Amino acid sequence: MLPSTLVAIASAAVASAHTVISYPGWRGNNLVTNSTFPFGMQWMYPCGGMPTTTNRTFWPTVGGAVAFQPGWFQGHATAFVYINLGLGNEGPDDARHLHGPPNMSNPMISPLQLLGPSKAPFPGTFCLPQVPLPVNTTVKAGDNATIQVVELAVHGAALYSCVDITFADPGDPRIPHVNETNCFNSSDIGVADIYTLTLRAPGQSSVESGARRTLALDGNAAVAYLGYLPVVLGGLWALL
């Protein structure tokens, strides 16, 4: 009896430690590397290899909280984060013959960058308390949808996790309460806005200004534009 109790406690600890979308829930543990997913399950579009689930969580029709733990992988001190919504159930049949959304192409937020403490896996939670519905989207209580959290790594590949939800009117008691235990920002995780600078608009001549050419010749320019705007602006200032 004792060993099985210990196993139960140990696996409960593992399960909670592996919760990547901590609010409103997630499809299940996809932090798996095995012969089916030799590169790691979570890299699989659109939901990290997890098929559509039926144990849906209730989430408000006006948008609500999304909390997740971004630091489970080696080598990703920074990542761009996207949160998208998939609507309806006309998507491709999946392994359990359930149909999820046809696509996850409806962004809920502008992407942002998370700044982890190091390249080693790190603990901590990041929470946006009021993620809105995608622009021009209206839903009603009882509609099903899927929230997708994408972490874009520095090399351009992305980690995917999803949670299947059913919309409920705000204040519905079936919506799990949002509070400081399930929605908080850990102090070891920083956050940055993401900007781009247009070097040449489509249809524009390829003759560039001197300052821009200097930046374009810098091998780090692409990275600078994506993640380190203050550095780029500092550089432009110096050139002016």
Ligand X SMILES: *[C@@H]1O[C@H](CO)[C@@H](O)[C@H](O)[C@H]1NC(C)=O
Give the whole-angstrom CA distance, residue 240 versus residue 238: 6
Which residues of 53-157 form beta strands (DSSP E)?
57-60, 64-68, 78-87, 106-107, 112-115, 126-131, 144-152
Q: Scanning the structure block, which residue is given the tokens 């102090």?
A: 187
- Tell me which of 66, 108, 127, 149 binds ligand X, using CB under 6 A: 127
Q: Does 32 bind ligand X (CB under 6 A)?
A: yes
Greatest CA separation for the chain: 76
Contact window for ligand X (CB under 6 A) among 23-31, 148-156, 204-212, 229-237: 23-31
Instruction: Write the interaction track for ligand X spanning residues 170-199; mark x where CB under 6 A is met and - where it is not.
Output: ------xx-x-xxxxx-----x--------
3-state helix, strand, coil in the chain (%, to 5): 20, 25, 55
Q: Is 101 in the site for ligand X (CB under 6 A)?
A: yes
Contact call for residue 129 and ligand X (CB under 6 A) = yes
Q: Under the criterion CB under 6 A, does residue 139 sit at the interface with ligand X?
A: no
Contacting range for ligand X; rule: CB under 6 A; set: 76-84, 125-133, 198-206, 232-240? 125-133
* Helix-then-strand count for the chain, H and E: 4, 10
Q: 3-class DSSP state for residue 13?
A: helix
- Total residues at interface with ligand X (CB under 6 A): 39
Chain positions contacting ligand X, by CB under 6 A: 25-26, 28, 32, 34-37, 41, 53-57, 87-89, 101-103, 105, 127-129, 135-136, 142, 144, 163, 166, 176-177, 179, 181-185, 191
